[in-house]
Every structure is written in C-alpha cells, then in structure tokens.
C-alpha cells in the first residue's frame, strides 16, 4: 500500500514540476488517422452471394437494353488505372463516398425505366452501404485545406461528369463499374490500412 501511495505522490510531483517549467509531453504523430467515430465498414469486405447476384441481374438487364440503344461514349469515367490503394487511408472513404453518391444518383434515375424492378435490391444495398460510409467521411470544412493530388483529381472528374456526360453515358459508366466498386473499392475501404 505504501509503495502505491509513493508512486502516486511521485507522479503528482512530476506533473507539478513539469507544468511549472512549461514542459509538456510531446505527442507523437499518428501513423494513420484513427477511424471516425461510428465508422464500421469491415462488414463490407465481401457481400453475400445473393447481393452480388442481384447486381449481376441488374447489370445483365442493362446490357440487354444497350442492344436497343444507339449510344457513343468516348470518355472513361472510371479509368482502369484508378485504384484506391494509391490514396492515403483517410482519403479512400472520401473517394468511395463520391463514387457511390454518383452511382446512387444515376441508378435512382434509372429506377423509373424498364430496369426499375431489377434495380430495387441493388439500390437498397447501395443506400445501406452509403449510409454507413458517411460516418467514415470527415466533414468538409467551409474554409481551409481542400483535397489535393489524386483525390482532388478523382473528385473533380466525378463532379464534372455530372455536367458533361449524357445520361446514357453516365448509366453505362456506372453499370460497368458496379462490380469494381463492390469487390475492389468497397473492400479496400472496409480493409482500412490493410489495403495495400
């Protein structure tokens, strides 16, 4: 008991001495930003076979509908060289959230078409993922530093696509990117710093 009291007394004396001299412990820089509060993405490392089948059914129905359209899309909204692994861990949810927001916007617009029935389950799944992902994305400050480098380029590209691309081209880009979003990008964000 005396030894415990002595330790407490020593700690208190050291704290007083350090505070009087102005010395304070220097925190070390974190190697990675801690996950945001309420950010629980590990459940999305892989989707169930039923969920993936619902996406495949929607994609197949879309491909069948393409045979009846005369469309020409020159730009690749989601280039193959784009890989979330090239971003810092904290940037990955931001990039995925922007990609998912565009995907939801486009698919929700398509839900009023003949593909509506095949899009019901994929939309529910994507909306659920999006709601969980939003807890992982830091709030955007109104002033201060903005995203730079690759992240800025990707976010700008997605934002410009809404303005420049036709609805048909947006639909094609989103539908052909679905499985990459679900099996690669989502898995990378769900894996956190283990995605290398």
Give 73-90 pLDDT, tens digit per residue. 777 788 777 889 999 998
List CB contacts of 59: < 8 A, sequence separation 6 or more.
Answer: 175, 176, 178, 179
CA distance 196 to 176: 24
Does residue 126 carry a pLDDT above 90? yes
| Highest-scoring range by mean pLDDT, 80-84, 124-128, 174-178 | 124-128
Sign of CA dihedral 68, 73, 79, 80: positive
CA–CA distances in Å: residue 28 to residues 10, 34, 49, 193? 24, 14, 43, 19
Maximal CA-CA distance, the chain = 87
CA–CA distances in Å: residue 162 to residues 2, 95, 112? 71, 16, 19
């Amino acid at each position: 008991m005396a030894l415990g009291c002595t330790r407490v007394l020593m700690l208190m004396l050291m704290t007083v001495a350090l505070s009087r001299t102005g010395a304070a412990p220097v925190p070390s820089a974190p190697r990675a930003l801690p996950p945001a509060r309420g950010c629980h993405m590990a459940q999305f490392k892989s989707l169930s076979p039923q969920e993936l089948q619902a996406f495949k059914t929607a994609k197949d129905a879309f491909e069948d509908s393409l045979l009846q359209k005369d469309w020409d899309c020159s730009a690749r909204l989601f280039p193959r060289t784009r890989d979330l692994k090239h971003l810092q861990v904290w940037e990955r949810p931001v990039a995925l959230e922007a990609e998912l927001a565009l995907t939801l916007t486009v698919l929700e617009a398509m839900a009023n078409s003949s593909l509506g029935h095949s899009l019901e389950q994929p939309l529910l799944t994507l909306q659920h993922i999006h709601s969980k992902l939003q807890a992982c994305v830091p709030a955007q400050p109104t002033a201060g530093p903005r995203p730079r480098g690759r992240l800025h380029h990707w976010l700008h590209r997605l934002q410009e696509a809404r303005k420049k691309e036709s609805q048909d081209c947006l639909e094609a880009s989103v539908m052909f990117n679905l499985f990459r979003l679900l099996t690669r990008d989502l898995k990378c964000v769900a894996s956190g710093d283990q995605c290398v």
